[in-house]
Chain A
Amino acid sequence: MEILLRLGIALFIILAGIVVYRFVTAVRLALLRMKQNPMVGLGGRAGVPAILYFTTPDCAPCKTFQAPAIESLQVQFGDRLQVIKIDASQRNDLADAWGVLSVPTTFIIDAQGQPRHVNNGVASAAKLRQQLREFVGLDESAEKTIRLENRLTVGQ
């Protein structure tokens, strides 16, 4: 019985830690949104949702997991999504400005250039797709509809 109580306390403390971590992340994003134009210096296209991807050349999980996941989304969404890749070892200024602590880190940016979500560590293609849908309104069904509309227009 005591072991269950201790397990419960441990889980509670861990959950409290996660809540604090998420709160700090939310505050970080809010502070980034309060900046005049957080996208300055990134070289992205205006009006297009983006994945801002911080990596380094020697980051193994970036090469094996993160980059393929982002590439698959880029193929899927085409021009409707831009990927801005930043080498954090070369651009310490940007890594600091965006509060990047480790790589890979990915930010989901909406069409207005506002950061909507951040992933510290590897984020799967499915997770990023879901975030693009939730925070940016970019989804597969819309993509399919547009493709269908394009086909119909070409057919006419």
Chain B
Amino acid sequence: MNNQLTQVDHSALRVNQAMIIALLIIGFVINLPVLAAFVSAVMLIGTALRQPGFKIVYAGFLKPRGIVKPDVIADNPQPHVFAQGMGGTVLLIGVIAFALNGALIGWALTWLVVALAALNLFGGFCAGCFVYYWLARLRVPGFVAQPTPGTFPGMRPQGKAS
């Protein structure tokens, strides 16, 4: 069992979610599946680098100008990385559907990712993190982090970083 919490900046996660939601909705409105492909690629690259895909927008633009302030919380970074990877994969399946002329399935999966990102951004519940913690509970290899004490799996921890 691994429960070593580190400092996770939730502002970076929220900016990432906001970017995903905004770009995917714009992609839907102007009927540009390539934008969904771009978001999917950014999410999967971010997962490989173990950080939020659109972190550059936060770290390079919003944070230095004081537009978004850091919100550092003692938390596990792994479930958030997993959640992003899960979202990126769902979006990738959607992109494949677009390529196979399955626009309806493609947009449905895109909206699913928008809904889950919105649930995280506005509701504080990370569905991907919830799945991660369940896999850890089932002792699936590679899933070792445990929920923050006193926090329901997937919910945003209330405590500040120590």
A1-23 residues with Cβ-Cβ distance < 8 A to B are: 2-3, 6-7, 9-10, 13-14, 17, 21
A148, B66: Cα distance in complex, Å: 45
Looking at chain B, what size class is its interface with the partner chain? Answer: 20 to 34
The answer for the CA separation of A133 and B155 in the assembled complex, in Å, is 33
Beyond A7-B29, A58-B72, whether A92 also contacts B118 by CB under 8 A is: no
Question: Which residues on A sit within 8 Å (CB–CB) of B28?
Answer: 6, 9-10
Q: Are B29 and A3 in contact (CB under 8 A)?
A: yes
| Distance in angstroms between the alpha carbons of A17 and B114 in the assembled complex | 11
Complex CA gap A95/B151 in Å reads: 10
Closest-by-CB residue of B relative to A60 is B69
Chain B interface, DSSP helix/strand/loop, else mixed: loop
Alpha-carbon gap, A76 to B107, bound state (A) = 50
User: A89 near B: Cβ within 8 Å?
Assistant: yes
Q: How many of chain A's residues have a CB under 8 angstroms from any CB in B? A: 26
Please determine whether B25 and A56 come into contact, CB atoms closer than 8 angstroms.
no
The distance in angstroms between the C-alpha atoms of A153 and B95, with both chains bound, is 75
Q: Are B158 and A17 in contact (CB under 8 A)?
A: no
Q: Which of B30, B31, B72, B122 touches A21 (beta carbons < 8 Å)? A: B122
Residues of B participating in the A interface, judged by any CB pair closer than 8 Å: 25, 28-31, 69, 71-72, 111, 115, 118, 122-125, 150-152, 155-156, 158-161
